[in-house]
């Protein structure tokens, strides 16, 4: 009876294994593997060869504990499913690329409680910094962020008091900006279509800004339609149909995001509405996606990629100002009139 070849119980390799395999002290092996310059080329080669042959993968847990430094950046966003945050993440990844820092993503589903949990989990890994969407957090979450002793960058929104640094746009201003455009184009009866989510603070601020801005021109939101879940494109369609049926005299539809706006636009084009003549429309975010629609939906670009990049640069210490912490960056969102707002 031959002993079947046993796939060795797989104790993960340690520095010591490499050290023994190449006859160099653990310390020097460690130096080589961390790309430190103070090792002779000869030893370096020997070590590298041994590490490669064995298939050694360093243990960052031990490394992190010993060095008290961890090359992780916690990134917390509400969602991945709506085209908007992935672009922020892409910006962060790109900016961190050559810094030795690694982003780690967490998702909250727009739930403050989930955010608190995810944050706790992530901070327990002692990351070098944290990037988190929004300025609204539970008290406990705020406390954790304040006490973490690492740079914190709150992103997307600049309407509020940041914990440390902030990179975003004013959603209230974006709402007002849209109100100005609507008023200038002479639309009179505005409908708002958005999400039901109580915790989408930014959408709420945009609506506030819109309402305020309209009020200054004696205008107001005359009907509202909210949704949650499902295909945003389809919901946009359905909500638009519902609103137009209920309030046929509406002449402008403001959507809280481009996706439902696109659904609404497709619906209106099919039904032969005169856009932008009799009916104006606008969304929010400036997703690339809009480029492929039959007509360019008006929108406000939320500078998502740029926000991601700047936040990452602050964490990485790549920002130019020389200031440490407490950066306040408010980007100016660009209004893109597209083809769905008539010229004044």
Partner DNA sequence: CTGAAAGCGCTAACAT
Partner DNA sequence: ATGTTAGCGCTTTCAG
Residues 248, 271: contact at Cβ < 8 Å? Answer: no
Structure tokens that stand for 125 in this block: 């890994």
Interatomic CA distance for residues 28 and 30, integer angstroms: 5
Shortest distance in whole angstroms from residue 88 CB to a copy of itself? 10
Which two structure tokens, joined as six digits, stand for 90? 């892409």
Helix (H, G, I), strand (E, B) or coil at 258: helix
Residue of the chain from 4, 9, 12, 277 that contacts DNA (CB under 7 A): 12
**Binding to DNA by residue 53, rule CB under 7 A?**
no
Residue 66 binding DNA, by CB under 7 A? yes
Applying CB under 7 A, among 27, 245, 324, 344 the residue interacting with DNA is: 27
> How many residues are present in the chain?
344
The only residue of 31, 204, 206, 327 in contact with DNA, by rule CB under 7 A: 31
Largest interatomic CA distance in the chain: 93
- Asked if 43 interacts with DNA (CB under 7 A), we say yes
Of 65 and 226, CB closest to a copy of itself: 65
Q: 3-class SS at 178?
A: helix
User: Residue 335: which of a copy of itself, DNA, none does it interact with, CB under 5 to 8 A by kind?
Assistant: none
**Which residues of the chain form contacts with a copy of itself (CB under 8 A)?**
10-12, 55, 57-62, 64-65, 70, 80-81, 83, 86-87, 89-90, 93, 102, 104-105, 107, 120-121, 123-126, 143-144, 147-149, 230-237, 262-263, 266, 270, 288-294
147 near DNA, rule: CB under 7 A? no
Q: Residue 257's closest CA among 321, 178, 168? A: 178
The beta-strand segments (E) located in the chain are 72-77, 102-107, 129-133, 152-157, 165-169, 189-195, 220-227, 252-255, 280-282, 299-301, 328-331, 334-336
Q: What does residue 2 show for φ and ψ, rounded to 5 degrees?
A: -90, 140
- 333 phi, psi to nearest 5 deg: -70, 140
34 is a contact residue toward DNA (CB under 7 A): yes
Task: Give dist(CA 60, CA 57) in Å, integer.
Answer: 9
The answer to the question of residue 40 lying near DNA (CB under 7 A) is yes
Figure out which of the listed residues 69, 196, 246, 271 binds DNA, where binding follows CB under 7 A: 69
Question: According to CB under 7 A, which one of 49, 62, 184, 226 is a site residue for DNA?
Answer: 62
The window from 37-45, 112-120, 176-184, 251-259 that contacts DNA (CB under 7 A) reads 37-45
Q: How far is CA 148 from the centre of its chain?
A: 21
Binding site for DNA (CB under 7 A): 11-16, 24-28, 30-31, 33-34, 38-40, 42-44, 58-59, 62-63, 65-69
């Amino acid at each position: 009876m031959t002993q079947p070849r046993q796939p060795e119980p797989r104790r993960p390799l340690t520095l010591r294994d490499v050290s023994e395999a190449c006859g160099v002290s653990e310390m020097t092996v460690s130096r080589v593997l961390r790309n430190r310059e103070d090792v002779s080329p000869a030893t370096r080669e020997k070590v590298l060869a041994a590490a490669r042959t064995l298939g050694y993968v360093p243990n960052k847990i031990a490394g992190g504990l010993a060095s008290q430094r961890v090359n992780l950046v916690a990134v917390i966003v509400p969602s991945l499913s709506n085209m908007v945050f992935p672009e922020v993440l892409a910006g962060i990844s790109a900016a961190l690329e050559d810094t030795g820092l690694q982003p780690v993503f967490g998702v909250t589903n727009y739930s403050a409680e989930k955010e608190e949990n995810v944050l706790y989990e992530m901070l327990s890994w002692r990351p070098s910094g944290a990037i988190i969407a929004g300025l609204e957090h539970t008290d406990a979450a705020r406390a954790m962020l304040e006490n973490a002793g690492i740079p914190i960058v709150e992103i997307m929104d600049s309407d509020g008091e940041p914990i440390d640094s902030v990179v975003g746009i004013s959603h209230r201003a974006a709402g007002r900006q849209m109100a100005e455009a609507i008023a200038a184009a002479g639309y009179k009866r505005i409908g708002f279509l958005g999400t039901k989510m109580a915790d989408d603070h930014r959408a709420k601020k945009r609506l506030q800004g819109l309402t305020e801005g309209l009020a200054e021109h004696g205008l107001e939101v005359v009907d509202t339609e909210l949704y949650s879940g499902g295909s945003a494109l389809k919901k946009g369609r359905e909500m638009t149909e519902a609103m137009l049926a209920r309030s046929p005299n509406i002449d402008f539809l403001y959507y809280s995001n481009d996706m439902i706006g696109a659904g609404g636009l497709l619906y209106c084009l099919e039904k032969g509405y005169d856009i932008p003549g009799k009916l104006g429309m606008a969304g929010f975010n400036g997703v690339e996606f809009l480029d492929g629609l039959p007509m360019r939906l008006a929108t406000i670009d939320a500078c998502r990629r740029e926000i991601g990049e700047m936040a990452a640069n602050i964490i990485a210490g790549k920002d130019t100002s020389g200031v440490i912490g407490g950066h306040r960056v408010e980007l100016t969102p660009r209004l893109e009139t597209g083809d769905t707002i008539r010229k004044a």
